[in-house]
Structure 1
Amino acid sequence: MSDYKAKIAAELRQIEVEERVRIVYACESGSRAWGFPSKDSDYDVRFIYVRETDWYLSIFEQRDVIERPISDMLDINGWDLKKALNLFRKSNPPLLEWLQSPINYLEETTVAEQIRKLLPASFSPRSSIFHYLHMAKGNFREYLQGDQVKIKKYFYVLRPVLACQWVEERGTVPPLSFEELVHELLPESLLKHEVLTLLDRKKAGIELDLEPKISVINDFLARRIAYYEEVAKQAPASGQKQDQALDELFRSALREVWGPGAV
């Protein structure tokens, strides 16, 4: 991991030079951040960046993402800060996950922390539940039907289902750690035992491919997906928009990155 951290840091600095941007935050996303990577999992690096002030002073819409081809286990892409803040207004779950990732590659400004401070009032339970429910339904339908299933895909349905439960019960952004979700939300039972056994196998590096389905997990997932189909419709729609605060955050970020005269 340490070798890859150095490689990731070098790649991020190269992006800053090539694109003439400053990266204000970079983190790990996906299975490594969730705590169940495979031995051959890519490093899913996500970042937020700021361009020079003049770039924003244009009558034309310009590309607001930076993407690099997947290479040598590195999957790196990022969003312009203006795009990120507009998605934050909508309580975008992937962005909220980035902001609390346990694996941080770069955070040399106060920008990400300023965004985090606005999160409690901005969080939309409905947006979050719909996002995780959509993820769970798609993976459940595609990978976990029939007598033989792609066993590692259980994690990609269990985690979003448990994230829905967290949002319903606690009304906050669910933690990234799959293990934390399991221990906090599942009572001691055969279901919890089977889930943790599966997690232990994954952590041990055992390749999980086609195997007989685990009925107790399948039954749980089917019930919970049906349940959250109804819960999602009734969940609180959104928090405060905080548009003035986000505008000021954007301007202060430009000043912090490029100097007091930037805005």
Structure 2
Amino acid sequence: MEKTIQELIRKMEEQYNITVLLCCEAGSREWGLDNPNSDYDIRGFFYHNDKSAYMTAIDSPDSVEQIDFMSKDRIIDFSLWDIKKMFKLLAKSNPSILEWALSTIVYYEKPTEMEMIRNVILKYTCRVPLIYHYLNMSRRNYNRFIKNQMRVKIKKYAYIIRAQVTALWLIQNSQISQLNKNVQDLIKKVQLPKKTRKLFDQVVVLKKQQKSGLGIINSISDLDQVLSDLQGDLFTQIEKKRNQILKDYEIEKKTQNKIKFFNKIFFDLIN
């Protein structure tokens, strides 16, 4: 499959006259939740070889900011974003872009450039926006797919658990560089009651063993309650710690430095 992905990258570079900076896994495979039916959710960044695309204040209608591709068998789902958009979102600590840049499954990258970008991310990214991102994701999915439901997709349970244990890890640990995105590993590392850990592990096993179909099961009342209670507890924890984390982080100073370094990398790439 990696050979197929590499070939698709080369075709995109030729078709759009771009240079791909990064192509990585951004879905269930990255989180250790994949099963035999899992597709490849590939995300990444590129820059235009024609540097005039970056020389105007207002983007040309012909300028490509995002490239999307789905294979005929729907196994490979590509989405690549222009570096101008990438840096804007990284400056705001956009969680999705951060996840892609720090992905542990990389299909292709320009190592020197990506190392510079990752160094800036790890040095200047505040974990508070990330924590709220995962908590809001968890709450939104719980209310939409779990609350008052008799039948539930296994993957919805798994993705809510993923969001909650990631948020909990970030609350309990200050170093983003040490964040392990594998859900089973996170469940082991964060502080959780024994019952909660057991329920979470069971869901991950079910998700990974799913071989066909939609993976719909009867709702698990004990798990529903655990997810609801943990959600409230996590919001309480971050509200108590939020101001101190921001103070220790020196958010205004580091945000300015982050933007400065991203601008430098951006201009180095397009010159």
Q: Give the match for residue 43 of structure 2.
A: 46
1:163–1:42 distance in 2 versus 1, CA, 3 Å:
same
Deviations 1:33-73 (A, max 9, x none): 11112322221111111113221112422442111245321
Q: For 1:20, which of 14, 17, 21 is the aligned residue?
A: 17
The correspondence for 1:107, drawn from 103, 106, 109, is 109
1:66 lines up with 2:82 in the alignment: no
- Does 1:251 find its partner at 2:252? no
Instruction: Map 1:232-243; keep pairs closer than 5 Å.
Output: 232-233=238-239, 235=242, 236=245, 239=251, 240-241=254-255, 242=257, 243=259
Return the alpha-carbon distance in structure 1 between the equivalents of residues 122 and 42 of structure 2.
Answer: 25
Q: Which moved more, 1:42-51 or 1:213-222?
A: 213-222
Q: Distance in 2 between matches of 1:115 and 1:198?
A: 35
Q: What is the alpha-carbon distance in structure 2 between the residues aligned to residue 14 and residue 246 of structure 1?
A: 28
Q: Retained in 1: the 8 A contact 2:146–2:224?
A: yes
What does residue 199 of structure 1 align with? 204
Secondary structure (helix, strand or coil) at the match of 2:67 reads: strand
Aligned 8 A contact 1:28 1:46 in 2: yes
Q: Distance in 1 between matches of 2:128 and 2:233?
A: 14
Counterpart code for 1:192: R
Superposition deviation, residue 232 in structure 1: 4.9
Query: Does residue 120 of the first structure (1) align with residue 122 of the second (2)?
Result: yes
Count of residue correspondences: 252
* Distance of 1:182 and 1:142 partners within structure 2: 24
SS at structure 2 position matched to 1:171: coil
Q: Is the partner of 2:43 in helix, strand or coil?
A: strand
Counterpart position of 2:186: 181
Greater alpha carbon shift after TM alignment, 6-15 vs 63-72: 63-72
* Residue among 224, 230, 233 paired with 1:227: 233
| Partner-residue secondary structure (3-state), 1:26 | strand
Report the more deviating stretch, 235-244 or 158-167.
235-244
Helix, strand or coil at the partner of 1:60: coil
Given that 1:26 and 1:104 are in contact with CA atoms closer than 8 Å, whether structure 2 keeps it comes out as yes
Matches of 1:91 and 1:213 in 2, distance apart?
Answer: 35
Cα distance in 2, alignment partners of residues 70 and 90 from structure 1: 32
Once the two structures are superposed, the pairs formed by residues 149-168 of structure 1 within 5 Å of their partners are: 149-168=152-171
Which residue number corresponds to residue 259 of structure 1? none
Report the AA paired with residue 97 of structure 2.
L
Contact 2:172 / 2:190 at 8 angstroms: preserved in 1? Answer: no
**TM-aligned CA distance change 1:188 to 1:126, over 3 Å:** closer
**Is 1:57 aligned to residue 55 of structure 2?**
yes
* Structure 1 spans left out of the alignment, 5+ residues: 255-262
> Normalised by the size of structure 1, how large is the TM-score?
0.86
Is the Cα–Cα contact under 8 Å of residues 27 and 101 in structure 1 kept in the other structure?
A: yes
Residue 215 of structure 1 deviates from its aligned partner by 3.1
State the superposition RMSD in angstroms. 2.2
Percent identity over the alignment?
Answer: 25
How much has 1:112 moved relative to structure 2? 1.3
Segment drifting more, 203-212 vs 97-106? 203-212
Q: TM-score, normalised by structure 2?
A: 0.84
Q: State the SS of the aligned residue for 1:216.
A: helix
Structure 1 residues 231, 195: closer, same or farther in 2, change over 3 A?
Answer: closer
In structure 2, C-alpha distance between the alignment counterparts of 1:90 and 1:116, rounded to whole Å:
15
CA shift, 1:193, in A, is: 1.9
